[in-house]
Structure 1
Amino acid sequence: MATPRKQLKLGHMIEGAGRTWTDWRHPDAQPGASTDFAYYAESARLAEQGKFDFLFIADSLSINAKSSPHYLNRFEPVTILSALAAVTQHIGLTATITVSYTEPFNLARQLASLDHISGGRAGWNVVTSWLEGTAENFSKSEHLAHDVRYRLAAEYLDVVQGLWDSWEDGALVHDKASGVFFDPDKLNTLGHKGEFLSVKGPLNIARSRQGQPVIFQAGASEDGRNFAAKRADAIFVGDSALQDAQAYYADVKARAAGFGRDPDKLFILPALAPIIGSTEAEAEARWQERAELVSIEAALGMLGRGFNDHDFSVYDVNAPFPDVFTKGFNSSQSATVKIAKAVQEENLTLRQVALRFATPRGNFVGTPEQIADKFEQWLDAKGSDGFVIGQALPGQFKLLVEEVIPILQRRGIYREDYEGSTFRDNLGLDVPTNRYTAAKVARAVA
């Protein structure tokens, strides 16, 4: 009997006004889509039609005049996902929420609520916030250093997951005859006091059908890789060449094994936005159409965002890239390192860097068959376990669902239908054991 093929895991990142600073300028784009519920609902239904594993809502808590249009005016993640839970049935709902500027009790309660509202489909993308200006929106004097933020993230996740386990399974007995609403022996107080956090608990909402929300993380730096390999169920990473993706995949999977985890229970999912045409020439023309929307001024603004809003317009764009890498190191360490590597290896000018990172061509431009080939190649070559897919141009995501997904299904590397009713069911992840129940069992055995 033939061994079943490994299955692709796919998510859809909804970015109303577009992925880049200039996508909204396309004639068919909807510049106001980032606060248009109808747009989100249509995108969610389309992703569910395509049997996608999850929707992904990215977020940022600091804007200025140089920010990406999608981030300037947009929905808060848990709010919009709660609304989308009502118009979908199977797809996972992943919210990006920062540990640096959110109280853990509130976050645990919000996501547990989303988990119940959706019938066990919530996910949490754990971030530490990369923009230094965020601190000023939360009465903070400074943005925590990169390594400190990851220490906070580890403690924070311990607290939130501990709160999610406050109520053991079967605690809410609802016995009308005896008048017993709950079993007090199955309600647990966290009582956490650590380096950063002091949280008593218990949480005022029980676990959902899937036990706990699925954990995402975007670990690319050394600290990020270790944190993701140890704690995440899925890792959201940037697009890169296959060879680089394979190296990252092998490294993080090895780290996961080193932490005593099953590497196959950790999904590595690069972000990408395929550009699809009925012919190669049409696909290339569509990519060029998108690239032509970008001005050098917009590209410099986009580049500066990752360097703590550094003003790149003061430099000669045709001169070598300036030595400003320290300005980006505490914000987005992995992206800064990637740019520094490219500059060093290729001796790039400022113009070249800005345009490359404003509209990267990426690895996925072609016909539906060619895009499916790429997906299969990356899966088989251990470059990824799937992808988080955005929309490069209006109508492109619909093309992917209607023309690429059927090819993947015929090849046996993508589901025909959802496997279960919860996010964990569809990812093939176990329901986490309640820590308090496990401790009681361990004591009884001892």
Structure 2
Amino acid sequence: MKPLKVALLGCGTVGGAVLRLLDEQAGDLAARIGRPVQVAGVAVRRPDRHPEVPADLLTTDALGLVARDDVDLVVEVIGGIEPARSLILAAVEAGKSVVSANKALLAEDGVALHAAAAKAGVDLYYEASVAGAIPLLRPLRESLAGDQIRRVVGIVNGTTNYILSRMAETGAGFSEALAEATELGYAEADPTADVDGFDAAAKAAILASLSFHSAVTAADVHREGISAVSATDVARAAEIGCTVKLLAICERVAGEDGDTVAVRVHPAMIPTSHPLAAVGGAFNAVFVEAEAAGQLMFYGQGAGGEPTASAVLGDLVAVARNRVAGAAGAGPTAYADLPTRPIAETPTRYHVSLDVADVPGVLATVATAFAEHGVSIATVRQDGHGDAATLVIVTHSAPDAALSSTIAALRELPAVRGVTSVLRVEGLS
């Protein structure tokens, strides 16, 4: 049988694992697909850095490789926006299905890429772009296609989850936990994309787009990182039976003028009884709530060469089967076209720690500030006395703008020496 030829764009940690697994599992893949799969070429920037790849496969001409007549499928694991976008568009316009792991590109320009693939009648699959080896996107796109998803909440960045887990386990501060993560290889030399939430925000945009059948980009996602989370914040969370996680939260919010989509990434306290609270180390987990299916949870390795390559090969088998059948699979839909809700209008809850003067009437003064901005207090307690007096307040749900304006007002009160901590709270009834 004539083999299906695959062009591999990129041969880093993930690409190298894909190449190796294609060789090791060649017989099984051929049996599953119905035709053998053969690598036509591997596009890299510096061929001399890849002595493990046969020299006759290596090329620096990625566009030329994609354009070759004998190439049937393209696997893109370069990452970033360009040249990945141009290469994917060139591939689909040439009638070649594409498998990608590129979360940043799909979160920014997924609509255009899907439109190009649909016009050409080819597949664009990207299971590996979110949560590594965890089968997540296809269940959202296909298995739950007959249901209505209400909420998706997930830990989708292993680096930040490792850092926060170590802070909870050891009492270390953010800088110490980050240094440990870097030493162990969980964090990049420049960890900005992870610790500032950019990575999670891109994944949240993809999850929201698939879940709510609406076009959501990374620019629509409210983003906060974890660098401001302190050891004290983590300890305060433990005191109320919670732990701190960086969450990607995608919600379909009902309103008088119709439903909207709220998408946000930020650190939050969640109860230790919640399934996501037990997700430690560099693992990922995503919690899905649907109307008919109820609550579902997906858990596993969220990054790494082999786990991510597993997801890439799963997509490769799917698109190759479609190629053999002479058809393309169903793509995602954006028929709902729900508008995104700004964070200011999104209902949230806050956990607030205040350094206050230990004088009569301070609690009443603070409570008045909350009431004036329409924010109801759920619980309040005082820790310490004199110069060490602290008020710890957990609010009921209110629009984020009301909570933000309350915090601004508290900073101006003479009785409040400082707002020492503000964290959102999720999962409390």
**Alignment TM-score, normalising by the size of structure 2:** 0.31
Structure index of larger Rg: 2
> Greater relative contact order (Cα 8 A, min sep 6): structure 1 or 2?
1
Higher helix share: 1
Higher strand share: 2
**Alignment TM-score, normalising by the size of structure 1:** 0.30
